[in-house]
A and B are shown apart, each in its own frame.
Chain A
Amino acid sequence: MNFQEMLMNLQEFWSKQGCIIQQPYDMEKGAGTMNPATFLRSLGPEPWKVAYVEPSRRPTDGRYGENPNRLQHYYQFQVILKPSPDNVIELYLESLRNLGIEPEKHDIRLVEDNWESPTLGAWGLGWEVWLDGMEITQFTYFQQCGSFDCYPVSAEITYGIERIAMYIQNKESIYDVEWVDGISYADVHHQSEVDYSHYNFTVADVATLTTMFNLCEEEARRVAALQLPQPAYDYVLKCSHLFNLLDARGAISVTERTGYIGRVRNLARTVAKEYLDQRERLGYPLIKDDNLRKELLKAEEVEG
């Protein structure tokens, strides 16, 4: 199965499970979790099922295209099931089987791995999934997001899609993965890995990025105050990415680090709060059971 078929295979599988298939969000982000289809949607009482491919950027992981296992830009296949269904692990294993990985022939383990994003004020408990000793998926039950408790709890499944492709195609390097017949992952991404590694580590202008960070922080705050959570969230994402770039550039000292993270976390909390208020004002349209909806709205009125 080539890379493209794998993505389509997963989309089809999760589509059949009732997920809407969204497309990647059009901004830089470190992980699929930061897509508003996860970060915002996992807040509040409304159910939500979604799957999408997310291009993800980790500037510090750049290796100038020389490391067979590490990239500063890669893909995640992300699934959110809210509330988490009882058979969520079985569903996940079924999706592997669909990719041609038969669990009986391998050694599949769920090894404790808890996820935390200090910048998003988010954490959850779960596992990394091992396939014959290789981590292929991160599996998390969200407990908090934007510093708010998640209720109901979402299950997040994040496939390390390149890793799985290497396994299925029996390749020793990500770059050798076959995207489609005759076109490799290297053909699509190698040169940009080299270029971005130069940019991230040596070229990015620290003064410019610092100014941009400050401007974006300001804008996020201003827009959030106008009760426009999603546009405000865009600037939180920008802040997060700019922070990562500054970090890769070695421009953030240890003492400053905590400060930066705290600033982004505060923004994320502000936006989360605005989003929660907005959904309530809208009357939780995704809750189809009218009685439940009214009950929730009433309860929140009482709590005030």
Chain B
Amino acid sequence: MNKDFLLEIGVEEMPSAFMGRSLEDFKTITAQKLQEKRIKYISVDTLGTPRRLVLHIKGLEENQDDALIENKGPKKSSAFDQDGSPSKAAMGFARGQGIEVSDLEIREVAGVEYVFAIKKEVGGQTEDLLSGILLDIINSLSFPKSMRWGYYHTRFARPIRWLLALYGDKAINLQVENVLSSNYTSGHRFLAPEPILVESIDGYFTALRDHYVIVDQVERKKMIWQQVQDVAKNAGGRAMDNEDLLNEVSFLLEYPTAFYGEFSVSYLDVPPEVLTTSMIEHQRYFPLFDDENKLLPAFIGVRNGTDFRLDLVKAGNERVLKARLEDALFFWKEDTQKPLAEMVPGLKEVLFHERLGSLLDKVGRLRDMAVYVGQENGLSTPEKLDRAAFLCKADLRSNMVYEFPELQGIMGRYYANEGGEDSEVADAILEHYLPRFAGDSLPASETGIVLSLAEKLCNLTAFFAIGIKPSGSQDPYALRRQALGIVNIIIDLGLKSDLRQLIGQAYEGLQMLSPDRNREDTVNDLMDFILQRMRGIMLDRGLSYDVIDGVLYQAGGDLSEIMLRAEVLRKFKMASQWEDFQVVFNRSYNLSRKWESAAVRTELLEDASEKALYQHYLQLRPMVEIAVKEKRYEAALEMLAGMRTDIDQFFEAVMVMVEDEELKAARLGILKAIVGLCNFLADFSKVMP
């Protein structure tokens, strides 16, 4: 027999940013606790608004499952004498367990026999267990930040103000601090402030809907998006599709009503990114665009309530936005009065890191590095790179970026264009921050590509040189993200450069700071750190572990080459010659893996098969080497696979591990040489069949 269950934790307004995660946790923790308590159910669902976290369990069994409890007692040898009569120890154990001596069982544990008390625990009634389980669940919920209130010690995201717990139609008693559960809930804070009696779980959902609460976050989100689109359509525009904003808005209200508002066209002089950032970040409005994707002087807000006096709400919001945009316009005018270059000296006042100097110091290092990376890759020109590096941080001194830090780079590009800088230099200012997150776009202009790489290499090298690297979840300088950025840029754009050399060059720029770690250690550590990110990216792209491990450390600091080899290997593993190649490699490798030298004294070779094999090897070597040089890797692998017959005949005809040490050395030498030639592409000992 089962019944549905409902718990509503009534809270003061929860931070919207916590809600998605908290509802997930609430669900997982509940499932886990019910399993621990051996209570079956059909489904667990969690719902929520800013003022309530709701747990809805369908088909919760009325009885806990029975359990077998097995308790280990003394060894059999000390529990019974030779006649099989129980000792005092056995009797004491049985008494302690509350069972008869005759009911003790004997079981073997690691070869020794022990007495066991096996008891069946009859499952209790769910109804009696619920309040304990619920308290446990509530206390297990954790939040990024939690607080205490009043005289209480409980910690929660915000104060708990009421509890409603129903099992079927029966209220379950529960107490958290001074809050006693009941069968009352609350409606919308303003539209239905009186307590509402809830007589059944179905009744709960109806009651909330009748009292202006859409408790299901998915439904609420759909409603909001539908309303926003409708309002946009009426206004002849298209609302910005922004999932984060929609999620946030849906957890800021219980009953949505979207409304249309406008602002003066005069603010459209300000770059659209500024306007949308202000609308989204400050006010949580949806910006509107026309058919040509141009920003309209309008917005869509969503109110927590009905359309009652929506005119007042609209007017109030329009006035607030006007004040915000007035500020933005003021910043734009201030910032564009002087060329961007004049903001650069102010970077002396901005600390990059206490041991790495100011941002101006950093820009100095970046200028050298950008020019160097550009020359190494044959991209852009030294003049453009130096200029872009010089300007790329200047917007951090602007009023606008001070107000909207997320507009860094974006404003720099606008200000550079306003000041008549070369347009590629301006683009590079924006692009040098790319990619900002997984899946973000990569820099497109040559100057942007180089500057982005140089920036990340400078940062990573500097932090590694002073001994700061990410550990566990601690990565305050986003070094992992930057390393990922380097890998993505290099492999996606197919850049050919030796990262070890670039890191070494970046290190040179730090010499005057006398970093703690020397050049070699810094280069090695950072290269390894970047290769680990490379490994992750290769896995994400569907390459298998063994292919990755085979090629990762075989191509030095050239990431594009690593990627190319992995691709070749992946394909070759599916080709018909793969089997032959494997035989060639494995038979050679298995015997010679501990052998050091590939030298072969040919005069000692006796059998025709070994002479033929070695001859074949000598013939192939220059051909393979040329193919490798020309990056015809597949051809080289096919040639090596062609040794299959000779290898097989060799192993059939001769014994390698003979007593004659010299002969053995010659034979192992042949095998070692073949392994060496095979490994031109990858370390095949790591590659799975």
Contacts of B189 in A (CB 8 A): 93, 103
Are B309 and A105 touching (Cβ within 8 A)?
A: yes
The residue in A67, A93, A132, A153 that gathers the most chain B C-beta atoms within 10 A of its C-beta is: A132
Which residues in window 64-93 of A have CB below 8 A to B? Answer: 67-69, 83-86, 89, 93
In whole angstroms, what is the CA distance A83 to B358 when docked? 46
Contact of B16 among A67, A112, A172, A254 (CB under 8 A): A112
Closest residue to B358 on the A side, CB-wise? A254
A63 vs chain B, min Cβ distance (A): 10
Are B161 and A151 touching (Cβ within 8 A)?
A: no
Are A133 and B349 touching (Cβ within 8 A)?
A: no
Are A152 and B151 touching (Cβ within 8 A)?
A: yes
B447 vs chain A, min Cβ distance (A): 29
| Contact code string A177-197 (vs B, CB < 8 Å = 1, else 0) | 000000000000000000000
Contacts of A104 in B (CB 8 A): 190-191, 305, 308-309
Asked if A131 is at the interface (CB within 8 A of a chain B CB), the reply is yes
Which residues in window 183-203 of B have CB below 8 A to A? Answer: 189-191
Asked if B550 is at the interface (CB within 8 A of a chain A CB), the reply is no
| Contact code string B306-337 (vs A, CB < 8 Å = 1, else 0) | 00110011011101110100110010000000
Contacts of A225 in B (CB 8 A): none
Asked if B626 is at the interface (CB within 8 A of a chain A CB), the reply is no
Are A152 and B150 touching (Cβ within 8 A)?
A: yes
With A89-B12, A109-B304, A143-B147 known as contacts, the answer to whether A132 contacts B320 (CB < 8 A) is yes
Asked if A108 is at the interface (CB within 8 A of a chain B CB), the reply is yes
Are B148 and A112 touching (Cβ within 8 A)?
A: no
B110 vs chain A, min Cβ distance (A): 49
In whole angstroms, what is the CA distance A103 to B516 when docked? 61
Contacts of A69 in B (CB 8 A): 323, 327
Are A106 and B312 touching (Cβ within 8 A)?
A: yes
Contacts of B654 in A (CB 8 A): none
Asked if B252 is at the interface (CB within 8 A of a chain A CB), the reply is yes
Are A132 and B313 touching (Cβ within 8 A)?
A: yes
Asked if B303 is at the interface (CB within 8 A of a chain A CB), the reply is yes
Asked if B557 is at the interface (CB within 8 A of a chain A CB), the reply is no
Are A127 and B320 touching (Cβ within 8 A)?
A: no
| Contact code string A135-172 (vs B, CB < 8 Å = 1, else 0) | 00000010100000001110100000000000100001
Asked if B351 is at the interface (CB within 8 A of a chain A CB), the reply is yes
Give the size range of A's interface with the partner.
35 or more
Which residues in window 164-181 of B have CB below 8 A to A? Answer: 178
Which residues in window 15-65 of A have CB below 8 A to B? Answer: none
A124 vs chain B, min Cβ distance (A): 8
Contacts of B309 in A (CB 8 A): 104-106
B220 vs chain A, min Cβ distance (A): 15
In whole angstroms, what is the CA distance A151 to B151 when docked? 7
Are A127 and B13 touching (Cβ within 8 A)?
A: yes
Are A114 and B350 touching (Cβ within 8 A)?
A: no
B482 vs chain A, min Cβ distance (A): 22
Contact of B319 among A108, A172, A254 (CB under 8 A): A172
Contacts of B148 in A (CB 8 A): 141, 143, 151, 153
Asked if B652 is at the interface (CB within 8 A of a chain A CB), the reply is no
Contacts of B209 in A (CB 8 A): none
Closest residue to B16 on the A side, CB-wise? A112
Are A86 and B312 touching (Cβ within 8 A)?
A: no
In whole angstroms, what is the CA distance A295 to B154 when docked? 21
Asked if A291 is at the interface (CB within 8 A of a chain B CB), the reply is no
Are B150 and A133 touching (Cβ within 8 A)?
A: no
Contact of B320 among A86, A114, A134 (CB under 8 A): A134
Are A134 and B316 touching (Cβ within 8 A)?
A: yes
Contact of B316 among A68, A86, A133 (CB under 8 A): A133
Are B50 and A110 touching (Cβ within 8 A)?
A: yes
Are B319 and A153 touching (Cβ within 8 A)?
A: no
Contact of A132 among B13, B178, B317, B323 (CB under 8 A): B317
In whole angstroms, what is the CA distance A16 to B189 when docked? 23
Contacts of A208 in B (CB 8 A): none
Asked if B17 is at the interface (CB within 8 A of a chain A CB), the reply is yes
With A125-B147, A133-B301, A255-B351 known as contacts, the answer to whether A112 contacts B15 (CB < 8 A) is yes
In whole angstroms, what is the CA distance A253 to B313 when docked? 43
Contact of A114 among B14, B145, B301, B326 (CB under 8 A): B145
A64 vs chain B, min Cβ distance (A): 13
Asked if B35 is at the interface (CB within 8 A of a chain A CB), the reply is no
Which residues in window 109-126 of A have CB below 8 A to B? Answer: 109-112, 114, 124-125
Closest residue to B311 on the A side, CB-wise? A105
Are A153 and B149 touching (Cβ within 8 A)?
A: yes
Contacts of A93 in B (CB 8 A): 189
B184 vs chain A, min Cβ distance (A): 15
Asked if A107 is at the interface (CB within 8 A of a chain B CB), the reply is yes
5 pairs from A and B in contact (CB 8 Å cutoff): A83-B150, A109-B253, A127-B13, A143-B147, A253-B351
7 further interface pairs, Cβ-Cβ under 8 Å (given A104-B308, A105-B309, A107-B317):
A105-B312, A106-B313, A107-B303, A133-B301, A141-B147, A152-B151, A153-B150
